[in-house]
Structure 1
């Protein structure tokens, strides 16, 4: 931070040292803007014709010392007196969104005189990063996180249905899922552009454990097919619920088995995920009615057999009784294994509780999948 302020002071000195005296004012004393640029001295030759919200800029000109207000469109900037000289003003472009856009930079001086300069402010289009839970029933509220969700905003689901906006902030949307929403990407639009998610809503790609139907070697008894009053609501057919104490370094298989026991679902991990795991995420939906605060979960997925090693996903994690989507970079998972190769006949899978500490477990799982981090255009 000290380096930034030092650079600003140097900039003002370098530009302001040649300021003229009142006895010899340039341009007959009339204010004038010559150009706008960034404040970093290393970019002194890079002039700006527009800039984004929140950017610190240098307005360079003549007779600017009596500036009292600066406006970008209809938004007033915050001025600091030491950053104003006759030849340069340092100011940050407001982050607030304008209601009226005229693409003008306006300086108001002590005399009431106003100076205008053509200078559009670039306003960011929406940015979509994640959905708290990628599986939400029609009529329920989905929570979407990102940035630049400037009203008015619309959220369209694959299939064309548009959701009802329940609540909006710059960085979060709460939207009621419409009837007719289909698995796939969502599209968020504002007056300043649109963004398409890299995640899928109700993601049904590359699922390697679903319990619809149950396959594998272990714990058919964990599968919930008809949720009761005490069970979490189903989000995508059957799911797995583990409700029992797990002892210190106990061994409790959650699900899995070799390819021939898992069946065709064992082939659902893409070849590219094995060859370039850095391009993929491991995802699943989790509901913790009691916190995951002890012990551990070990994953052995996308491997040829059970002798390849285990990735440990350690506590804490607590969804407070609601479904959430867990995202783990797949390269972190595969870093725990020996180097893997593509297995055309399917992959061995094992997910097991095993770790330090006793866990009073009440955790539900669904939709284990390996999916791309970024959807190629």
Structure 2
């Protein structure tokens, strides 16, 4: 049986099509030994043989169409010699790939934007642009209100071959920027705000593509998107993401107390606010950020005490187990901070140990007054805070709710819900879909199960007898992630 090589057949078919087309169109000019010429550049897809173009990204395979291209000695793009296969070259075409590591005119404008083919009968040139990566805008910084003559910085990436920078208003007018510079890394544009700018968007037009970001002459109100945790450990560094965290003056927690600006830290991009919760609010609510643009309330509940099922302080209690202890952090040793009592599982489970490090508890599950009875079970997660001193693997946990030994989460390794990584040396927030613990389809069905158990059981399903386990848990709660 012969091996069928689709790639080579595809290329040979393309060369044949090119040859036929070139013969019909150029036969009168095909004097043997003539000066090489390039007429166009095409894709190597036979179905697009009529499509020509004058630019492409690195890594693209192209077909150069011309005349007297036989006996090619060298091919250059942007003044850099590129490799080619003579089997894919004829008198009327040359097929080759644009190198992925080609130096582009975006970083070196002294280079020629052209394809150059050298034969023993002369040189053929064709204007052709190798595109730089598309530009990106991550954020802008300026002192509000936007005043003509003041400085504005655009932070992003790939600001190559800028054609223009323009403020485009919502009314259809536009004001071009005349005074700007680009950093050596092509990731910052430093400009002077021109007269006449209005609310709308700020656009950077590059040769490859354009990119924009909303722009307001006055600072916009802050917006809150996500929490690192909706119930951060007291004293631990937490954060809120959003936009326009500019000149933040305070963070109010659920209407109960306020964290002043002196205890807050805002990222340079004005989209992340860091804080440490000094104490626990008494009930769930919303946080409010006050900044230069006004106030903003969080769209999701913060510190949902009502949803807690186990915290070993005033909700739920330890029942039985081994290789565990109650811990109240004192700042001198791991985990350094805690919200009252947390529970620790620690020690060295032996090889193939299936009955070690048990932590069985009586939990207090929210009523249907807190979580509506008709809430789909797939909307709910078991959320908790976790601190791992070091990597847990190859040990793992089995977690059980309401005594359901037939539907436990097995081989579980805690992962931070924000990064999906098994982070060690800090408190992280973990989510497990509630549907993994029960066959109930809504919360009413789950709540009706007459069992209050919440069990964590450590297993070492390996022959490694030198596994160290040192993990802390707190604030188990059931939350609706759709709200």
* Residue pairs, 1:183-222, within 5 angstroms: 183-184=283-284, 185-190=286-291, 191=293, 194-201=296-303, 203-212=304-313, 214-219=317-322, 221-222=324-325
Note the residue ranges of structure 1 that are not aligned, 5 or more in a row: 1-5, 7-52, 84-90, 102-121
Partner of 2:435: 334
> Structure 1 residues 351, 274: CA separation in 2 closer, same or farther (over 3 Å shift)?
farther
* Aligned-residue offset at 1:178: 5.3
Q: TM-score, normalised by structure 1?
A: 0.58
Partner of 1:23: none
Bigger CA radius of gyration: 2
Richer in helix (by share): 1
* Aligned-residue offset at 1:179: 6.6
Q: TM-score, normalised by structure 2?
A: 0.47
* Aligned-residue offset at 1:335: 3.5
Indicate yes or no: 2:181 matched with 1:73.
Answer: no
> Structure 1 residues 178, 267: CA separation in 2 closer, same or farther (over 3 Å shift)?
closer
Deviates more, 1:280-289 or 1:314-323: 314-323
Match of 1:134 among 228, 231, 251: 231
Match of 1:282 among 379, 382, 388: 382
3-state SS in 1 of match to 2:431: strand
Contact 1:133–1:323 under 8 Å retained in 2 = no
Match of 2:251 among 145, 155, 175: 155
Match of 2:272 among 172, 187, 193: 172
Greater relative contact order, per chain length (Cα 8 Å cut-off, separation 6+): 1
Residue deviations 1:182-241 (CA, integer Å, cap 9, x gap): 55331234416623152423x423333322374323238422257594442452222111
> Structure 1 residues 182, 233: CA separation in 2 closer, same or farther (over 3 Å shift)?
farther
> Structure 1 residues 208, 160: CA separation in 2 closer, same or farther (over 3 Å shift)?
closer
> Structure 1 residues 245, 199: CA separation in 2 closer, same or farther (over 3 Å shift)?
farther
Partner of 2:448: 343
Deviates more, 1:177-186 or 1:274-283: 177-186
> Structure 1 residues 127, 180: CA separation in 2 closer, same or farther (over 3 Å shift)?
closer
* Aligned-residue offset at 1:311: 4.9
> What is the root-mean-square deviation in Å for CA atoms of aligned residues?
4.4
> Structure 1 residues 67, 310: CA separation in 2 closer, same or farther (over 3 Å shift)?
closer
Distance 1:274 1:349 in 2: 23
* Aligned-residue offset at 1:284: 1.1
* Aligned-residue offset at 1:279: 2.4
Note the residue ranges of structure 2 that are not aligned, 5 or more in a row: 1-50, 52-153, 157-165, 179-193, 416-420
Partner of 1:34: none
* Aligned-residue offset at 1:295: 2.3
> Structure 1 residues 363, 339: CA separation in 2 closer, same or farther (over 3 Å shift)?
same
Distance 1:226 1:81 in 2: 57
